[in-house]
Amino acid sequence: MKKEEYINHLVQSLKPYDKVYTEEIIRDYEEHFQDGMEHGQTEEEICEFLGDPEEIVCEIREILEDTRNVTNEIGRPFEEIERVIGEKRKTNEDEKNASSGKLTTIHFQCKSADIKVVPSKDALFHVYTEDPDDMKYLEHTWEGTSYFGRVKTGKKGTLSGFVESLLGSMTEIILEIPDEIEKLHIESSNGDINLKKIKCENITLKTVNGDMKYKKIRGKTFMCQTINGDITGKHLEAENIYIKTVNGDGKIFLNDQGKTCYVCGKSIIGDIKVNQAVRVNSQEFLDLKDKEGIKVFFESVSGDGIVKMKGEDE
């Protein structure tokens, strides 16, 4: 197989997906061919090094499908509000029911604004924008003890779609969350996601082109998924950690909590380095299900990864 056939297979297989995402992926693989040939490799040798293009396509499809389906996650009508405070907004029957229990779940998604998540100073939940005038673009709803929020979206060719194209001016959305949250789920297409000093049982972060940064995170499960963005963080304490990238790089600095750390690193092109942890294969990783310790699964298509334990130079 030569470069033209290899690249064409990727292009044709990824046609159903957003061009913004797939063009970036194709450019990345074209650069791999260019770099290889500059170092004296033949097109056939580069194809062999990169691996089966269909295997790469399957990895990319999995992430792109998750991203494409995100808008179906929130189906209920939204009510505009100026500021969300805790779980006791008693404006409708659902919120009256929610007020009887603590807020347990937060879901938030947007297209291009950055999302900053910080601990609440008053043990209540707050969401607001850097510019107060941008609050009108936020939508919110409650379902039991769960909060769902997002930036308004509209179809192309419509007035709402035109408004959406102007939302790039919204620079940042801030979420202040209490420690009692059981599940935090953040999704963004092009914006960055930044978490600092957060205690949450289960954290899920997904982005396409944005970067993810975190510091001093404590919980049970921590999952990051990205296509072109980078993942960087330190002082992470979690029992189960899942990192998945296509082109982005990941640098994970863990607090060992006095436990053994097991890392399963799977990469098609990228290089995954593991320091001060036990590296295991896929089957060994599955066998660790009920074993005491920290479990890290790092999967990459062409991005590089580093997993380090507390005490090493960061």
* Global pTM exceeds 0.75: no
- My answer on whether 161 and 239 are in the same domain is no
Please name the residue that has the structure tokens 């797939």: 22
CB hemisphere CA count around 25 (13 angstroms)? 31
Tell me what the mean pLDDT of segment 173-186 comes to: 91
The total number of structural domains that make up the chain: 3
Written as one string, the DSSP assignment of 253-314 is EE--TTS-EEEEEEESSS-EEE-SSEE--HHHHHHTTTSSSEEEEEEESS--EEEEETTS--
Residue 198 tokens read as: 């957060």
CB hemisphere CA count around 166 (13 angstroms)? 8
Crossing angle of helices 43-50/19-38, nearest 10°?
A: 130
Tell me what the mean pLDDT of segment 276-285 comes to: 88
- My answer on whether 85 and 160 are in the same domain is yes
Q: What is the pLDDT of residue 153?
A: 58
The alpha carbon of residue 145 and the mean position of all alpha carbons in its chain are separated, in whole angstroms, by 23
- Does some domain include residue 33? yes
- My answer on whether 91 and 20 are in the same domain is no
Tell me what the mean pLDDT of segment 122-150 comes to: 84
| Full domain range(s) for residue 58 | 3-68
pLDDT exceeds cutoff 50 at 190: yes
For residue range 71-129, list pLDDT tens digits in order. Answer: 433 333 333 333 343 333 333 333 333 344 578 999 998 877 899 999 998 888 888 88
- My answer on whether 223 and 279 are in the same domain is yes
- Give residues with Cβ within 8 angstroms of 184, minimum separation 6: 105, 106, 117, 177, 198, 200, 202, 203, 204
Return the bridge partners of 226, or none: 207, 245
- My answer on whether 55 and 102 are in the same domain is no
- Does some domain include residue 178? yes
3-class SS of residue 171: coil
For residue range 6-52, list pLDDT tens digits in order. Answer: 999 988 988 887 776 677 778 878 887 888 888 888 999 888 877 78
- My answer on whether 295 and 268 are in the same domain is yes
Tell me what the mean pLDDT of segment 245-260 comes to: 86
CA distances from 52 to 49, 56, 97, 269, 305 (A): 9, 7, 53, 11, 21
- My answer on whether 134 and 227 are in the same domain is no
Q: What is the pLDDT of residue 295?
A: 93
- My answer on whether 253 and 186 are in the same domain is no
Q: What is the pLDDT of residue 200?
A: 94
- My answer on whether 113 and 154 are in the same domain is yes
- My answer on whether 63 and 144 are in the same domain is no
Categorize the per-residue pLDDT at 189 as very low, low, confident or very high, splitting at 50, 70 and 90.
confident
- Does some domain include residue 56? yes
From 43, 68, 93, the end of a domain falls on 68
- My answer on whether 63 and 82 are in the same domain is no
Whole-angstrom Cα distance, residue 58 to residue 268? 12
- Does some domain include residue 196? no
- Does some domain include residue 312? yes
Q: What mean pLDDT, rounded, does the chain reach? A: 78
Please name the residue that has the structure tokens 């600092």: 196
- Does some domain include residue 203? no
Residue 164 tokens read as: 């959406």
Q: What is the pLDDT of residue 66?
A: 56
- Does some domain include residue 204? no
- My answer on whether 91 and 114 are in the same domain is yes
What percent of the chain has pLDDT above 70? 79
Categorize the per-residue pLDDT at 65 as very low, low, confident or very high, splitting at 50, 70 and 90.
low
